[in-house]
Amino acid sequence: MKSQTEYLWFNTKNKREIIHITDKVREIVKKSGVEEGFVLVSAMHITAAVYVNDLEEGLFEDIWEWLEKLAPYRKDYKHHKTGEDNGDAHLKNLIVHHQVIVPVTKGDLDLGPWQRVFYAEFDGQRRKRVVVKVMGE
């Protein structure tokens, strides 16, 4: 079995952003030489997420509106008593989740026709990373 681990680093301009990372993940898969297997893409922070969905700006707006309804920014989160102000970012991470596993077939990501991989930042403007781990034959 082969494996390859690389890290993607982000320091977003905004507190909240969605970043399309499919091409970067695909490059790492190709570099790994794995023909059949899986790639794990995991945000290594509890205020960020990785997900698979459609690359469409209107959908990004819908996602932000939906997340804000489910986990709105509020000043009264108990977490904020620790000196933090990002309680909503932790909750958004729980909703979206921190990682995905994508199949690798014939040396490439085996995604559906509209599927793309995204990094979602909920508490940005500081350096964070995503681990990309390719495993297979």
Q: Can you tell me the distance from the alpha carbon of 20 to that of 23, in angstroms, rounded to the nearest whole number?
A: 8
Q: Report the pLDDT value the prediction gives residue 54, as an integer from 0 to 100.
A: 98
Q: Report the pLDDT value the prediction gives residue 15, as an integer from 0 to 100.
A: 96
**Beta-carbon count within 10 A of 16 CB:** 19
Record the tokens describing residue 135, joined without a space. Answer: 């495993």
Q: Can you tell me the distance from the alpha carbon of 116 to that of 126, in angstroms, rounded to the nearest whole number?
A: 24
Q: Report the pLDDT value the prediction gives residue 21, as an integer from 0 to 100.
A: 98
Domain ranges in the chain? Answer: 2-136
Range 17-32 average pLDDT:
98
Q: Report the pLDDT value the prediction gives residue 71, as an integer from 0 to 100.
A: 98
Q: Report the pLDDT value the prediction gives residue 19, as an integer from 0 to 100.
A: 98
The mean of the pLDDT values for the chain is: 98
pTM of the predicted protein model: 0.96
Fold assignment, 2-136? Jelly Rolls (2.60.120)
Cα angle: 22, vertex 67, 62; to 5 degrees: 65
Q: Report the pLDDT value the prediction gives residue 79, as an integer from 0 to 100.
A: 97
The model's pLDDT over 30-85, given as tens digits with 9 standing for 90+, comes to 999 999 999 999 999 999 999 999 999 999 999 999 999 999 999 999 999 999 99
- pLDDT band (50, 70, 90) for residue 109: very high
Range 15-22 average pLDDT:
98
Q: Report the pLDDT value the prediction gives residue 68, as an integer from 0 to 100.
A: 97
The model's pLDDT over 1-12, given as tens digits with 9 standing for 90+, comes to 999 999 999 999
Distance, first Cα to last Cα, the chain? 5
